[in-house]
Structures are given as structure tokens and as C-alpha cells.
Amino acid sequence: MSSSHFYSSITKKIIMSLMGLFLLTFLLVHLTLNSFLLFDKNLFNEGAHFMGTNPFIQVFQWVLFAGFAIHILYGIILQIQNWVSRPKGYKKRAWMEQSPFSKYMIYTGAIIFIFLAIHLGNFFFVKMGWVGNGVPELGGKEDMGQLVIDLFSNGGYVAFYVIMFLLMGFHLDHAFQSAFQTLGLNHPTYWGFIKGLSRVYAIVVTLGFVIIPLVIYFR
Amino acid sequence: MDLKLKIWRQASPTDKGQFVDYDVHNISTDASFLEMIDILNDELIEKGERPVAFDHDCREGICGMCSLYINGHPHGPEAATTTCQLHMRKFKDGETVVIEPWRAKPFPVIKDLIVDRSAFDEIIQSGGYISVTTGGVPDGNSIPINKEHADLAMDAAACIGCGACVAACKNASAMLFVSAKVSQFALLPQGKIEAHDRVKAMVAKMDELGFGNCTNTYACEAECPKEISVANIARMNREFIKAKLG
Ligand code: HEM
Ligand code: SF4
Ligand code: FES
């Protein structure tokens, strides 16, 4: 298979890393919004309302979907080419990867994709009125917070959600610093810091997303 | 010391190949890994069997010819060491040692443990040089070179083109090798002139030959006998972006 059909190897990686960095930023925004739910449901509803009506965000959400689609598409192309590059494997292969989760990016990526589909089905599609019974209302306004709280009162769903986010954390731990390396931003003076920041990002984002459903469930 | 060996035997590029078990006895702990195979081969020849074919040349860690995937690592388990410089004292008496050829689509097996690494030569031919017109030799000091860049270029130039990076990488990517070659020129004034064309040509050749895409696992750096840094890959990516934009 000639990779020139899908741009050079480095171009592919650069596209993936830019989309990936965009997704990493989006996750922070999403987490911030979710965290409102811990303090005040109305604040969360206002945030959700803003996200659901602001024209800029409305356009932006399609950019976000495109970002996901491109990242996923290139992730799959890249992985297939990489499998093809070694038609016969080794009998014995030691663990040599220095960024541990780099080994499983396609699998953790697939997990994120499955979660994403379910997640959209639970919230976005309900909100758009494509599935389910619509969003509960409170004083004539959409009560997105209640929709979330209802889901998180189901122990099975909470467990599923927590496991999915732990697995996503593995993707993020490699992803953050990898994007910098791909974009050529590796300087001996800052590299240790970037790697550290990558781990901190992965831990903070994962714990953040995991704590919210747990708090709601046990509250 | 005594060892049990599991060695990949393949009579020709088209032969299916298989692992064959051998026992070697009374190996000196001071022997190198290649000497250990020499001893095995002498025994095989005496018995009238076909000796194990493997690559080697300088046997002092500078030519890059020796290969072998030993117990799951290219050039064996010791860091920053070529197979010719690997000593048997790094193994335990009675240990089972699995010996395989490099595995990558662009490195087809020729015979037993020998693979064809001319794909690397093709990458070099595509741009890994500087064009010079012959004439008078310029004065060495007429082109100032900053010390930091000279050192980094020297570090990159330490690459011996052995292919361990490709062998180690789960994607069979050649990025560490290519980035070392791109870097050693890009860092120096003489190499800067053709830097844009060079990086584009070498990356295109690397892709065309069927090496995988880098996903920054950094296994290459850990396994490189010359400890080439993955910072070179980042530099090549910068050079590539500059070349594409400029
Ligand atoms: C919230 C979601 C996601 C984020 C924030 C994210 C972020 C990233 C980042 C920043 C990288 C490193 C890119 C680079 O170094 O060039 C990466 C790599 C990767 N991603 Fe994702 N990703 C996400 C979802 C997915 C999904 C759904 C897939 C689907 C298959 C996927 C597949 C991959 C693969 C295979 C790699 C490894 C290839 C590489 O290192 O370039 N990712 N991801
Ligand atoms: S970068 Fe290291 S492992 Fe790769 S060919 Fe050069 S010396 Fe060998
Ligand atoms: S034989 Fe020359 S480097 Fe090993």
C-alpha cells in the first residue's frame, strides 16, 4: 500500500496531533462544565444552555465532530499501514516502548469511540430529540442536569462510565506529549516538563470525569 | 557456560523458514555473541550441516552490519551495544536464547538471520548527502560553526545504519535512522543549503519503501546501539514542516 495516497507519514501525524490537541482542549472545557454539576445544578443548566444556543458554539460543535472524524480516520489509516509494515512478527519481543500507553493507542482509541457513540446517544441525541423521551424540564427550561443525574443514579452506568474514562486516561497520557514531539516541540530544556504535564493532564482529566458520577451516585 | 538456542533458519528468501533448537557447550563468558555463533557453526560444519548465516563485519561496534533479534531485543538485552560487542557473561548458564532476524517489510530475509537492508541505502541515495563541486579545498575556519550544533551533528552522525530502530519499533518505522541522517546535515552550514529538498525526498523515499509511521513509542531510542536521541525525530519534523511551508 502506498502511503502517498493519504499524505506522507509525517503529514498524517501532524494532522492527527493538531486534531488531538484540539480534542485535548475540548475535554478541559467539557470537564469544567461537568464540574458545575457538583456545586449547583442550575449553574450546569445555564452552561449547557449557553453551549446549546450560542451561535459560535453551534458552529464549533460541527468543527469538533470533524476533528474527531479526522483524528479517527487518520488513526485507523496509520495503524493499518503500521501493521502492514511488519507482515511477520517476532517469536519473542520484549517490552521496549518508553511511553507505555503508546502501545495501545488504537485500542484505547476504539474504546473512546465506542464510549463517544453511547455518550452521544445518551445526551446529544436526546437533546436533539432524535432518541428517548426528550430532556426533562424545570420551570419551562431544559433540565440537562437532571438528565445527567438520572443516568448517574444507575450503578451499572456509573461503573461503565468510570471504566471508560480510566481507559481514556491511558490514551491521554501518551497523547499529550506525543503531539508535542510530532510537532517538533521537543527541546531538552522543556521536554521533562512537557512529559510531566502530559501525565498531570491525563490524571487530572481522568479523575475529574470519574469523580463527578461517583459523587452524584453516592450523594 | 551452556546454552539452549532457538534460531530462525530459512534457506532462501522464498523458503517458509522455522525455528531450530541447538545446544552449545563450554562457551567462555568472555566470548562475544557472534563468537558463540562461530563456535556453533564450526560444530555444524564438522557434522556436515549448513552453518547459520548471519551478518557481521567490523566486530567492533562501528560498521552496523551485525544484527540479530536476541531474546526480544535487537542486538540483545544490553543497552547501547551492538551484537558484536555483546558478551556471553550477560547471559545465564543454561538459559534459552531466541535468535531471530530483523522483521520489517522493507527488510526481507535473504537467508537465516541475514536481512536485506539496502532500503536504507535507497533512503541515503534519495538525499542523504551534500552536493559539492570539486575545486580548491576551502579553509576549514572560513565557515564558523557553533559548538552546540557541531556537537549535536556529531551525535546524530554516530548512527551506524544498523536498522535496530526499525527492528525494535512496533510500527517498523525508520524515523530514528532517517532523522539522524537529516539532522547531521541540517545542523551544519554546508547541509543547510539543500535541507528542504533533502528532508522531503528522504521522507518520501522512507514512506515509499514501506516503513511504518512513527507513533512516538520511543522504543528506537532505547534500543539504538549509538543512543541516537528521539529529539532528532522532532528536529526532522520541524525541518519537514519548514520545507513544506517554505
Ligand atoms: C477525546 C478523544 C481523543 C483525544 C483527546 C485524542 C488525542 C490524541 C493525541 C493528542 C494523539 C497524539 C497525536 C500525535 O502525536 O500525533 C493521539 C494519538 C492517537 N489517537 Fe487519539 N484522541 C482521542 C480519540 C481517539 C479515537 C476515538 C481514536 C479512534 C480510533 C484515536 C486513535 C488514536 C491513535 C491510533 C493514536 C496513535 C497514533 C499517533 O500516535 O499518532 N484517538 N490521540
Ligand atoms: S538510529 Fe541507531 S538503531 Fe537506528 S540505524 Fe542508526 S544506529 Fe542503528
Ligand atoms: S559487526 Fe560491525 S557493528 Fe557489529
pLDDT value at residue A3: 43
Give yes or no for B185 touching A (CB within 8 A). no
pLDDT tops 80 at residue B133: no
Give yes or no for B206 touching A (CB within 8 A). yes
User: Which of A161, A141, A164, A154 has the alpha carbon at shortest distance from A47?
Assistant: A141
pTM of the predicted model as reported, rounded to 2 decimal places: 0.95
Cβ pairs bridging A and B (under 8 Å): 139
Cα–Cα distance, B171 to B162 (Å, whole number)? 17
Q: Which atom of ligand 2 is nearest to the CA of B180?
A: 1
pLDDT value at residue A5: 56
CATH code of B3-111, in short, is 3.10.20.30
What confidence tens digit (pLDDT) does each residue in A6-63 have? 799 999 999 999 999 999 999 999 999 999 999 999 999 999 999 989 999 999 999 9
| B243 close to ligand 2 (CB < 6 Angstrom) | no
- Residues B126-145, mean pLDDT to the nearest whole number: 88
Q: Which of A2, A13, A18, A92 to mutate to test the interface with B (most CBs of B within 10 A)?
A: A92
- Residues A154-165, mean pLDDT to the nearest whole number: 96
A89 in a domain, yes or no?
A: no
**Cβ-defined contact of A85 to B105 (cutoff 8 Å):** yes
Lowest mean pLDDT among A103-117, A130-144, B6-20, B63-77: A130-144
Domain extent, residue A9, equals 3-84+98-218
ipTM of the complex: 0.95
**Average pLDDT score, chain B:** 97
Cα–Cα distance, B174 to B165 (Å, whole number)? 7
A90 in a domain, yes or no?
A: no
State how far the alpha carbon of A91 is from the alpha carbons of A100, B77, B99, B129, B193, in Å. 21, 15, 9, 37, 45
Q: Which of A5, A7, A10 to mutate to test the interface with B (most CBs of B within 10 A)?
A: A10
- Domain containing residue A48: CATH number: 1.20.1300.10
Are B113 and B52 contacting, i.e. CB atoms less than 8 angstroms apart? yes
- Residues B80-89, mean pLDDT to the nearest whole number: 98
A25 in a domain, yes or no?
A: yes
**Which chain B residue is nearest to residue A100, measuring alpha carbons?**
B217
Which residues sit with their C-beta closer than 6 Å to ligand 3? B 56-59, 61-66, 82-84
A187 in a domain, yes or no?
A: yes
Cα–Cα distance, B1 to B80 (Å, whole number)? 24
pLDDT value at residue A128: 81
- Number of compact structural domains in chain A: 1
pLDDT tops 50 at residue B1: yes
Confidence of residue B246 (pLDDT cuts 50, 70, 90): confident
Please write down the HEC assignment for all residues of A43-71: HHHHHHHHHHHCHHHHHHHHHHHHHHHHH
More confident residue, A213 or B141: A213
What confidence tens digit (pLDDT) does each residue in B162-175 have? 999 999 999 999 99
Distance of CA B211 to the CA centre of its chain: 14
| B177 close to ligand 2 (CB < 6 Angstrom) | yes
Domain ranges of chain B: 3-111, 118-132+144-245
For residue A191, give every residue at least 6 positions away whose Cβ sits within 8 Å of its Cβ, in sequence order, or none: B231
First to last CA, chain A: 55
What confidence tens digit (pLDDT) does each residue in B34-61 have? 999 999 999 999 999 999 999 999 999 9
CATH code of B118-132+144-245, in short, is 1.10.1060.10
